[in-house]
Amino acid sequence: MKKAVPSYPHVVPLGDEAVLVALDSARWGEDPWTTPGRIGGDQLRAAREIVREHAKLGRAVVLAFHHHVVLPPERVPSDVHVARMPLADADQVVRLVADLPVAAVLHGHRHTAFRVDLPGAAGATPVLCAGSASRVADEPVRRARAYVYEIDRTGVRSVEALVSGSE
Ligand SMILES: [Fe+2]
């Protein structure tokens, strides 16, 4: 039987000025209801090389993966269950952003929209959770949504929220 070949990090060019680096944080345990996320040393090392390579070429680099890195304190009571499933090596992502120019970190996992900024090598680095794409909720911040990003070589220029059930 053939051995599985790791397919992450997966690099997606966003035009000529930016790249999205997708990392897999979601395949580390048996039970999806109790398993924390983990990116792991191999992916983190590879991601660092990719960020260096593209930053040298003047491109904005966006990291994307499933689990949250940091929670804003005001959101903690909102999704009690996934609070038990953090990203086990979130500290390594914080360090990567501090060491290398990352334009933004995008993630999901939390079914609510929020933004936190991390101190980054290229200045304040936005960490954005768009929230759920399918949730039915009364609270606007938890309603199904998508974010549309405008990105150029200087980073994220704008973020537009498309919210279900809004004008
Ligand atoms: Fe999740």
Spell out the domains of the chain, with CATH numbers in brackets.
10-131 (3.60.21.10)
pTM comes to 0.90
Residue 101 in tokens:
């120019």
State the pLDDT at residue 34.
78
Helices 41-56 and 90-99 cross at an angle (nearest 10°) of: 20
State the pLDDT at residue 86.
86
State the pLDDT at residue 41.
96
What is the distance between the alpha carbons of residues 109 and 30, in angstroms, rounded to a whole number?
A: 17
What string of pLDDT tens digits covers the 167 residues of the chain? 666 667 899 999 999 999 999 999 987 777 877 788 999 999 999 999 999 999 999 999 999 999 999 988 775 555 666 667 889 999 999 999 999 999 999 999 888 888 999 999 979 999 999 888 888 877 777 788 899 999 999 999 999 999 887 55
State the pLDDT at residue 81.
66
Amino acid identity for residue 80 in this structure: V
What is the distance between the alpha carbons of residues 46 and 52, in angstroms, rounded to a whole number?
A: 10
State the pLDDT at residue 1.
62
CA of 28 to the centre of ligand 1 (A): 12
CA of 67 to the centre of ligand 1 (A): 6
CA of 21 to the centre of ligand 1 (A): 19
Q: How open is the CA angle 38-48-161, to the nearest 5 degrees?
A: 70
CA of 15 to the centre of ligand 1 (A): 29
CA of 25 to the centre of ligand 1 (A): 10
CA of 110 to the centre of ligand 1 (A): 7
